[in-house]
Amino acid sequence: MAMPTLGILGSGSGSNMQAILDAIASGNLDARIGIVLSDNPGAHILERARQNRIRAEVIDCSGQRTRFPDEAQEETARKLREAGVDLVCLAGFMRLVKRPLLDAFPARILNIHPSLLPAFPGLEAWRQAVEAGVSESGVTVHLVDAGMDTGPILGQESVAVFPDDTPETLHARIRIAEHRLYPETVRQYAAHLKL
Q: Which of residues 138-177 bind ligand GRF (CB under 6 A)?
A: 175
Sign for the CA dihedral angle at 145, 47, 28, 140 comes to negative
Question: Does a cis peptide bond (omega within 30 degrees of 0) precede residue 118?
Answer: yes
Active site residue 44: no
User: Residue 22: CB partners within 8 Å, gap ≥ 6?
Assistant: 179, 183
Binding mask 94-133 for ligand GRF (x = CB under 6 A): ------------------xxx-------------------
Of 91, 101, 110, 117, the one binding ligand GRF by CB under 6 A = 91
Residue 2 Cβ, how far from ligand GRF at the closest point, in Å?
A: 26
Contact present, 121 and 149 (Cβ < 8 Å) = yes
Across the strands, what pairs with 159?
Answer: 137
Q: Which of residues 30-59 bind ligand GRF (CB under 6 A)?
A: 45
113, 142, 171, 179: the catalytic one is 113
Residue 1 Cβ, how far from ligand GRF at the closest point, in Å?
A: 26
- Cα–Cα nearest to 48, from 79, 104, 10, 82: 10
Site of interaction with ligand GRF (CB under 6 A): 10, 12-16, 45, 91-92, 112-114, 175, 178
Q: Annotated catalytic sites, by residue? A: 113
